[in-house]
Amino acid sequence: MKLHDPKILSRLSKNGIPKEEFESALGADSDLAFELFKAQGMNIVLRNGVYQFETALTSVDDTLFCIVDVEANGSKPSHHQIIEIGAVKLLNGRIIDTYESLVYCTDISPQIQEITGISVEQTLKAPALGKVMREFRLFLGDAVFVGHDAKFDYNFISAMLERVGLQRLLNRSLCTIDLAERTIESERYGLAYLNDQLELYKEATHHRALSDAMTTAKLLKRTLSLIPNTIHNTEELIAFSKEAKRLKRPKVKKEEKEKEKDEEKE
């Protein structure tokens, strides 16, 4: 059974898969398989003879979200590495824990140093990638992985885990860009722009991992206050973030933008 198969994921996120069918597909080592799933952050539970994601049975309020941001010395996980990681755990609207660390690195371009404010001098004193990834893996556990452009952070971290001999992430994930596009009318959905427009986190330092994770956590709280009351569990929330209609961008702001362009030309 391939857990990355969209049909399998869809069944686990909705009505589930009968016990006999699921265990038969896993084979004789099903108990070991469940332990490995759990170690990689995927929590599958048995209820009334059916296996489902725990997130399909857990209310949004009772779900542990881990909001993550990484800074890297390039955009390609195959050639580059994380230089800083920050994470915030959110439960029922409350921040319950944080994690942050620079990562040992010997090569950061002047452009990246300028954008992030992170220098090679700082990363040379930081813990090794393997140590940071192991610490973060324990911190994340089986929480729902949240990021602003979650796919980038999720894939980068997965690649770093594999680089140090660990398994890729299997945590359920949620993207706050997707969620914001369906709950907030805005000209743009970049994190810095939304932070300015919504006044999410006044102490924000853009392009520093923990600060961006904190800003994203506050954005998540804002969007969760705007979701339909028909959403009861976290899998429904994930589906809403991907499938619901995006809000139209405000026409007034577009007109103002065109006016600004005309004034610039003059």
What's the CA angle centered on 48, arms 4 and 21, to 5 degrees?
45
Q: What is the pLDDT of residue 257?
A: 56
pLDDT for the residue 31: 85
Tell me the β-bridge partners of 44: 53
The pLDDT tens digits of the residues spanning 85-108 come to 999 999 999 999 999 999 999 999
> What confidence category does residue 255 fall into, taking pLDDT thresholds of 50, 70 and 90?
low
pLDDT tens column, 35-63: 999 999 999 999 999 999 999 999 999 99
pLDDT at 260: 40
Domain boundaries, the chain: 6-56, 64-238
Dist. CA 99–CA 255, nearest whole Å: 42
In the sheet that holds 44-47, the strands lie side by side as: 17-18, 50-53, 44-47
* Chain position carrying tokens 């954005």: 219
pLDDT digits (tens, 9 = 90+) for 173-220: 999 999 999 999 999 999 999 999 999 999 999 999 999 999 999 999
- Report the CATH number of the 64-238 domain: 3.30.420.10
- Tell me the residue length of the chain: 266
Give 46-50's long-range contacts (Cβ < 8 A, gap of 24+): 46/19, 47/16, 49/18, 49/19, 50/15, 50/16, 50/17, 50/18, 50/19
